[in-house]
Structures are given as C-alpha cells and as structure tokens.
Amino acid sequence: MNQEKEKIAQEELEKRYKKAEKLLNDSDKMEKFLQKLEKKLKTIPLAGNTLSMVPTMISLVKHYISKDYTDIPVRSIIAIISALIYFLSPVDVIPDTIPGFGYVDDAAVLKFCLKLVDNDLKDYRTWREKNHKIIEE
C-alpha cells in the first residue's frame, strides 16, 4: 500500500475509534453490530455464506464466556476459537494480502469448522432467538 493510501486508511480507521469504544462498552450495541456484519458478509460472492458466520461465532463465544450460553460442547468452542484464530492470523497458507485469493484458505478453514459445529450453531441461533438476543433494526 502506498503512503497516501495508508494515510487515508489510517484517517478512516481513526474516525471510527470513538464509535468502536462505545460498541466495546455496550454489549447490546455490539451484538447488533455483529448481526449487521453477519448480514453484510453474506453478500460477498462465493465465500459470503461462510464468512457471514464469523460474527455469529464471535457472538457465541462471547455468550459462552459470559456463561449466558453454555449448552455447547467444549470441543466445539475450541474448534470455533481455533478457526477464528486462523482467520485473524496474517500468517496462513495463502497470505491475505493476495487480492482475490488471500481469503480462500481462511474460508476453507471456516467452512470445515462450520461443518463440525453446524448443529451447535443452529442450537445457538435458536437460543438467541428464544432469548430475544436477535436485534433487528
């Protein structure tokens, strides 16, 4: 990234710091943000349905840690966190910086994890709905 683009990116990031801090300190607003992110990620061609589960996975882990939702095997939580670690890591099989291909391996790892925990995620989404954790606009 050239210096001018990097400066613009930094400015755009910094413009959102206060909003990010507010989200960090308000779990309801954070949950709403994650759900909006989930919807947007679904629109990404090819990998959208897989990537859209990232916010749901994060939400599940948050609810598990806070002990609001614990009806999931520990091995499933470990698989989810492992997949999120891989997704976040800049060092993986295909570097994320390669345009168009950088997230193929991330999506593959997430997809495999989703296959392992599919029923657990369905149960979590059902729990989220029953407990009014779905936040619609």
pLDDT for 99: 65
The three-class DSSP label of residue 42 is: coil
Listed by start position, the domains of the chain span 3-130
pTM value > 0.95: no
- What's the chain's Rg over C-alpha atoms? 16
Residue ranges in the chain modelled with pLDDT below 50: none
pLDDT for 82: 84
Tell me how crowded residue 128 is: count the other CB atoms within 10 A of its CB: 20
CA distance 104 to 107: 5
